Amino acid sequence: MSEEITAFRIDIPQEQLDDLRDRLARTRWPIALPGDDWDTGVPTAWLRELVDYWGSGYDWRAAEARLNEFPQFTTVIDGQRIHFMHVRSPEPDAFPLILTHGWPGSVVEFLDLIGPLTDPRAHGGDPADAFHVVIPSLPGFGFSGPTTDAGWDTDRIARAWAELMRRLGYQRYGAQGGDIGAAVSPQLGRVAPDRVAGVHVNGGPGPLPPLPLTDEELASLSDLERDRIRRIEAFMQEEFGYIAIQSTRPQTLAYGLTDSPAGQLAWLMDKFREWTHPRSVLPDKIVDRDVLLTNAMVYWLTGTAGAAAYVGYAQESAWGATKPNSGVPTAAIVFAHDVGIRRYAEQENTITRWVDVDQGGHFAALEEPETLTADIRDFFRDLR
């Protein structure tokens, strides 16, 4: 098996960009449902304005250049091409850290963290907190797509990450992630406990509480925890539809998302609106619209809507399986949108740090990069 690591540079052919612009201009818009508000999905009026900007104001070449500022590579692990960024710190004693994104995200989420993590000296921090960062695209997502076979659950992804870090020469390292990354990172600690010094997640490492809770158990929770239970229950009632579709019919969904850029954008923006904080504020007022569109472009240009849905949600039994505690020190920072609860997380994880924050949402690296960076530095300071 080849362990070759190949330099990679994003260079999208102009004809792909021309095709996208043509498709955007010819979007066949649905008739707006009564009210045209977020209660029935992404409002037509709002999305039309964003699509207009995508076709006439957004500059992919600028985004491409920004992505290409960071060294990128590909390698084949377990039969799957894996794309990753690898940015070494100028500090000789920097600590290796692998960052894992989720759905509907991509490596784009982490761009504003790379500088402060790798070169804290240049960003007002302590050089002793420097990291070498490795940021892979999940199998089936973006430039790691498409998937070549089935079975890319959290365990298989974690084993691929352990192999990736071995190939890069890192014998001891940390892991961080959110969303799917908050499941992969603790699993990396389980498959390589002798190498993973610590696991840091935003949102909570799971598992979710067994609903419905008894009255006695509810009474034992804090007001904050009870609010999180309420929001988990609301999610299961009001938002679970996208998981049901992606986990059962990802191929059927892929036809529409791969053929229609407006459809792809709407599918992603629905979650950016629901999961950014505060929910009452439009997502492009919380996360820069150019960043939102660059993230969408990663899905569009690689045609990986179906593969990402499949990897993210079609492994139901594996995602929900009970997991052993690795003993690896684990930290969680839970922003205002998210619903992690420490007592349940402690069933599978050795929680040594838990921080609840009254601001920010699910996309922590995009919404609260300074707070997230500071918490990562604080946690790993004694684990290096």
Q: List, by residue number, the catalytic residues.
A: 179, 313, 362
Calculate the alpha carbon distances from 239 to 155, 243, 331 in Å. 26, 8, 27
Contact 133, 114 (CB under 8 A): yes
- Residue 369 CA to residue 361 CA, distance in Å, equals 11
Six-digit token string for 251: 């191929």
CA angle 369, 373, 375 (to 5 degrees): 120
Q: Are 179 and 105 in contact (CB under 8 A)?
A: yes
173-178 β-sheet, strand order: 5-8, 72-77, 80-87, 131-136, 95-100, 173-178, 196-202, 329-334, 350-356
For 8, the token pair is 């990679």
Please choose, from the candidates 34, 42, 32, the residue with its C-alpha nearest in 3D space to the C-alpha of residue 296.
42
Q: How far is Cα 1 from Cα 25, in angstroms, rounded to an integer?
A: 46
What amino acid occupies position 361? G
* Side chain identity at residue 215, one-letter code: D
> Do 336 and 275 meet the contact criterion of CB atoms below 8 Å apart?
no
Q: Which of 331, 7, 383 is nearest to 182 (CA)?
A: 331
Instruction: Check if the beta carbon of residue 372 is closer than 8 Å to that of residue 364.
Output: yes
Q: What CA–CA distance (Å, rounded) separates 256 from 263? A: 7
Eight-class DSSP state of 33: P
**Dihedrals phi, psi of 171, to nearest 5 degrees:** -90, -25
- Environment class of 34 (CB within 10 Å of its CB; exposed 0-12, middle 13-18, buried 19+): exposed
Helix (H, G, I), strand (E, B) or coil at 329: strand
Computed over its alpha carbons, how large is the radius of gyration of the chain? 20
